[in-house]
Amino acid sequence: MKQIIIIIIILILTSGKVFSQIFVHDPVITQQNDQYYLFCTGLGITVWSSPDMKNWTEEGRVFDETPQWVSETLNDFAGHMWAPDIIYYNGQYYLYYSVSAFGKNNSCIGLATNKTLNPEDPDFKWIDHGKVIQSVPGRDEWNAIDPAIAFDDAGQPWMSFGSFWNGLKLVKLNDDLKSVTQPEEWYTIAKRQRSFESDVRDAGDAAIEAPFIFKKNGFYYLFVSFDYCCRGPESTYKIMVGRSKTIQGPYMDKAGKSLANGGGSLVLEGDENWYAIGHNAAYTFNGIDYLVCHGYDAHDNGRQKLIIKEMHWDSDYWPAVKDFK
């Protein structure tokens, strides 16, 4: 938690400057024309832009103030706006974001839209649509944070999301991407054995979060983060993957174990140079596949930095990261 606050302060102090290394948490990226836009955890959801995904300019934030519906819905909300996702659909950009009481499943996933990401465009304006889903302690055994949108072969939109508790979920959305379909259709796509009762800070081997589904090679690949972030040198975050022929799963790892039963094949983890690596997204930009995530730089006081690496695919069509070292 302390590291997230430090990152937010750094982002405020560095607004408008160009950097080759940026301090981010939970990054996602999209491309508009010749510019890339990155959204990440921060006060009001922090935004960066870049012409090349190497040199970044801080563009401010999506929300100058917390939307009124958040404080009205979450009675112990403390200002945390986390883990966004950004997609382009039907002529506009959809930004999903998480609001939550820290360490509880008292959480919501909200949605804002914009016709453009260029702040100089006269059509630039974020419109907030409020909550899409909500989790309530004592009612739900899942947590409404870490959203990511994916489409199946028929063009049907789905949202994957979740953290700890009873695993990561997938839910079918209406075509407007603003609400869950009726009747509701839910799946548990990844889960680790849970032995804790309520305090996720001591979840042990149950720690799993940040699902992201990426379609490639005739498969849906489900990337997830195992273990813990935000603990400085004690952080143990790592990126795992499974795949399925259908978006609903089951997602299986290289050994044939279901991610819904604790499975997952390692993609990337920390070493002596990084405390931990995780909360990733995956994209194809200009014909190249990329893995986007954050890591804790062991040589820079454990600051959470943006990592973007090209992905390639082995002979069995499993993802790997090129030249990480």
26 marked among binding-site residues: yes
273 marked among binding-site residues: no
163 marked among binding-site residues: yes
Among residues 110, 105, 64, 51, the alpha carbon closest in space to that of 84 is found at 110
103 marked among binding-site residues: yes
Cα four-point dihedral sign 68, 72, 74, 77: positive
Question: Containing H/E element for 33?
Answer: none
* Angle, vertex CA 21, rays to CA 18 and CA 22, nearest 5: 80
Q: Is the peptide bond prior to 147 cis by the omega test (within 30 degrees of 0)?
A: no
145 marked among binding-site residues: yes
Active-site residues, by number, are: 26, 209
Please report the DSSP string for 123-146 in residue order: T---EEEEEEEEE-TTT-SS---S
Query: 243 pairs with which residues across the strands?
Result: 221, 252
SS3 assignment, position 23: strand
Among residues 55, 57, 10, the alpha carbon closest in space to that of 303 is found at 10
Contact (Cβ atoms closer than 8 angstroms) between residue 3 and residue 304:
yes
165 marked among binding-site residues: yes
146 marked among binding-site residues: yes
Contact (Cβ atoms closer than 8 angstroms) between residue 149 and residue 94:
yes
Locate 80 and state its tokens.
């945390």
121 marked among binding-site residues: no
SS3 assignment, position 71: helix
Instruction: Please report, in range form, the residues annotated as the binding site.
Output: 26, 103, 143-146, 163-165
- Binding residues for substrate, by number, are 26, 103, 143-146, 163-165
